[in-house]
Amino acid sequence: MKIQNYINGKFEDPIKGGYIDNYNPSIGEIYGQIPNSSKEDVEKAFEAAANAFPSWSNTTLATRSKILSKIAELIKGKLDFLAEAESKDNGKPISLAKAIDIPRAAANFQFYANAITQFSSEAHESVGLNAVNFTLRQPIGVVGCISPWNLPLYLFTWKIAPAIAAGNCVVAKPSEITPMTAYLLGEICNEAGLPKGVLNIVHGLGTSTGQAIVEHPNIKAISFTGGTKTGAHIARVAAPMFKKLSLELGGKNPNIIFADCDYEKMLETTVRSSFANQGQICLCGSRILVEEKIYEKFKKDFIKKVSKLKVGNPSEENTDIGALVSREHLEKVKSYIDIAEQENAKILFGGNKVEIKNFENGYYLQPTIIEVADNNCRLNQEEVFGPVVTIMSFKTDEEALYLANDVKYGLSATIWTNNLNRTMQFSKQLHTGIVWVNTWLMRDLRTPFGGAKDSGVGREGGFEALRFFTEPKNVCISYE
Ligand code: TXE
């Protein structure tokens, strides 16, 4: 299947540059083509967005809200169809796409349909000076949204929904590895009555199409989710042009388990936080730190539970772990498993590719548990982004906190404990953007979402995203 760019409400071939192949990771075969868009396509998308902006930014909040709600409703109505497309394009289990990815894409639009009607700005009376200040929050204009392959429609819409709710027009690029559901979104937006040019979707490689969006002098804000290296590059390109930037990057998140926790709940959730979406979620708890007292028991129970996970064809409802997203990514993840020995680490479970009958060329890997001795090893310091977790023990709270923070990333952390004082001390002292206590990935879309340190800058979610996608202007009125 050949997909096209979505510009000014129409589906179009790229102006030049041709097409690139799109793979189905569950069988390792090409199943479609996507535009290899050039600078010219990005320019065309920009112009469509710029033309749509005066009218869209003056469209009432009630109308914007209604259109966003309609998009949400249409996504919900196409749940099975979109979930199948997502699973085929990404390799994720169909059950996950149905339960999480697609419902969340709908929720993103519904949430911002509501949020925009409640978004307000401040007024400050300058008492004694006969003046009043208020803040106008105006849409920026044309903004760029660039998203990754791990949660394709979920993260694409997490940026687009607040951007258009706030009155901006968008030039967006999904990952070239998982373009399908973004393509399908174009049709949905037309059906929902989104005016042409408000959203424009350009497909292609990061280094050309993505780069052209970031370099465009009149795309004044970039919201990006992806790898830390790419984020640093984007920051270097965008900084001299003083663009607003929101960067949600990698993670190496600690999952800190104390002996006083609710053990069964912790065990169940830890299997998910380790291997959901084949471990390809920036929030996965890839470093498991366990209090020494329960370390041996945890190890035994965790291995037993993980050994029951079914690796297999993503389109079968009972599959727990599907295919990794691409051959290159499978090789990258495998290369980390291969260094375990050099790092004095021990593979406790998994570590091998899996051959699925009739799907022999798919990118399957066993869930893998590696015991490490030293937090400074590469396995504990670098983002693997696959079904691989490390485990190590600690003795004291101080040691656990030190180990948790001793990494360049700072996206999220999970603590398992029933001790209130410890909960508060860790919540305050963990250098992360998110702390989960006795849970994992429980999301309330009103909360600020993002990371500290090399996990990025800025926050998405709730009113934070609406603040990002608007420019605050102070108006000071003097009166007699
Ligand atoms: O992501 P990239 P990659 C991590 C994970 C993974 C690593 C690399 O560790 O192994 O990043 O993955 C676009 N200008 N995460 O290489 O390249 C690209 O086309 C503008 C964590 O696949 O960062 C895609 O749309 N755009 C992460 C998007 O950036 C550019 C999720 C992300 O791709 C660009 C994914 C450029 N110069 C990977 N270069 C998370 N935080 O959830 C690339 N892109």
189-221 pLDDT, tens digit per residue, is 999 999 999 999 999 999 999 999 999 999 999
94-127 pLDDT tens trace:
999 999 999 999 999 999 999 999 999 999 999 9
Q: What residue's CA is closest to ligand 1, atom 31?
A: 226
Q: Model's pTM, two decimal places?
A: 0.98
Is residue 2 within 8 Å of 35, Cβ to Cβ?
no
Closest ligand 1 atom to residue 251 Cα is 41
Is residue 102 within 8 Å of 155, Cβ to Cβ?
no
* Position 25 pLDDT exceeds 90: yes
270-311 pLDDT tens trace:
999 999 999 999 999 999 999 999 999 999 999 999 999 999
Computed over its alpha carbons, how large is the radius of gyration of the chain? 23
- Span between the terminal Cα atoms of the chain, in Å: 68
Q: What residue's CA is closest to ligand 1, atom 7?
A: 227
Is residue 245 within 8 Å of 276, Cβ to Cβ?
no
pLDDT at position 261: 98
Look at strands 29-35 and 19-24 and give their pairing: antiparallel
Q: What residue's CA is closest to ligand 1, atom 6?
A: 227
Q: What residue's CA is closest to ligand 1, atom 39?
A: 206
Angle between helices 102-118 and 152-165 (to 10 degrees): 20
pLDDT at position 364: 98
**Which residue of 224, 230, 331 sits with most ligand 1 atoms within 8 Å of its CB, as the best mutation to test the pocket?**
230
Residues taking part in catalysis: 248, 282
Work out the angle at residue 159's Cα, subtended by the Cα atoms of residues 158 and 160, and round it to the nearest 5 degrees. 100
How far is CA 428 from each of CA 52, 137, 221, 401, rounded to the nearest angstrom? Answer: 45, 32, 31, 11
Q: How would residue 424 be classed by pLDDT, with cut points 50, 70 and 90?
A: very high
Q: How confident is the prediction for the chain on average, in pLDDT? A: 98
Closest ligand 1 atom to residue 211 Cα is 14
Q: How would residue 341 be classed by pLDDT, with cut points 50, 70 and 90?
A: confident
Q: What percent of the chain has pLDDT over 70?
A: 100
CA of 477 to the centre of ligand 1 (A): 46
pLDDT at position 247: 98
Of the candidates 194, 243, 198, the one whose C-alpha atom is nearest the C-alpha of residue 54 is 198
Q: How would residue 17 be classed by pLDDT, with cut points 50, 70 and 90?
A: confident
DSSP class of residue 278?
A: G
Q: Which residues line ligand 1 (CB under 6 A)?
A: 146-150, 173, 175-176, 206-207, 210-211, 214, 225-227, 230, 233-234, 248-250, 282, 332, 383, 385
Q: What percent of the chain has pLDDT over 90?
A: 99
Q: Which range, of 38-42, 132-136, 341-345, averages the lowest pLDDT?
A: 341-345
pLDDT at position 458: 97
* Position 236 pLDDT exceeds 80: yes
pLDDT at position 455: 98
Q: What is the mean pLDDT of residues 464-478?
A: 98
Q: What is the mean pLDDT of residues 437-445?
A: 98
SS3 455: coil
